[in-house]
Amino acid sequence: MIRDDIKAAQIEAMKAGDKTSRGAIMLMQSAIKNRDIEARTGKAPEDDDALVVEVLQKMVKQRRESIEMYAKGGRQELADAEAAEVAVIERFLPKAMSDAETAAAIEAIKAELGATGMKDMGRVMAELKARHATTLDMSKASAAVKAALS
């Protein structure tokens, strides 16, 4: 499980005195804990790794936006700190699907559901998310599905 890998990495970072990794890992654990609390009241994903990957993907997205803003603002040292956190977080994310694999998955789902036009986009996206949420950037997948259906 990804949670176990994160916990082991935290211990390893503490022993090695790696403050950057330790800090990023503590932020990850905090975000995961907050998501666990939110999941108590709502519907939690069936797979625990899916929940953790969802949180980590959100963290990476937030940090990439911050890097862009810091770079525009001339604060390169802050952008570098955010980039270091992104590198630590990405160590725990599963390998993302390539563009070719994404296209193949979309075509398979499209054929399976009999999707022909844009009116079927919601069904295709729902099935794509159900099958590949942990290994797929859904924002990029949305554009690919739109292109495949139009």
- Does one domain contain both 72 and 104? no
Please give the average pLDDT of every successive group of 10 residues along the chain, which has 150 residues: 91 93 94 88 71 89 94 94 94 84 84 80 83 77 81
| pLDDT score, position 77 | 94
Q: For residue 125, what are the domain limits?
A: 99-149
Q: Which of 90, 125, 140 is the last residue of a domain?
A: 90
- Does one domain contain both 66 and 105? no
| pLDDT score, position 107 | 84
| pLDDT score, position 44 | 60
For residue 114, report the phi and psi dihedrals to the nearest 5 degrees. Answer: 70, 30
| pLDDT score, position 97 | 80
- Does one domain contain both 67 and 115? no
- Does one domain contain both 18 and 79? yes
- Does one domain contain both 121 and 75? no
Name the domain count of the chain: 2
Of 112, 92, 75, nearest in space to 31 by CA:
92
**67 vs 103: CA distance, rounded Å:** 29
- Does one domain contain both 73 and 143? no
Are 30 and 11 in contact by the 8 Å Cβ rule? The answer is: no
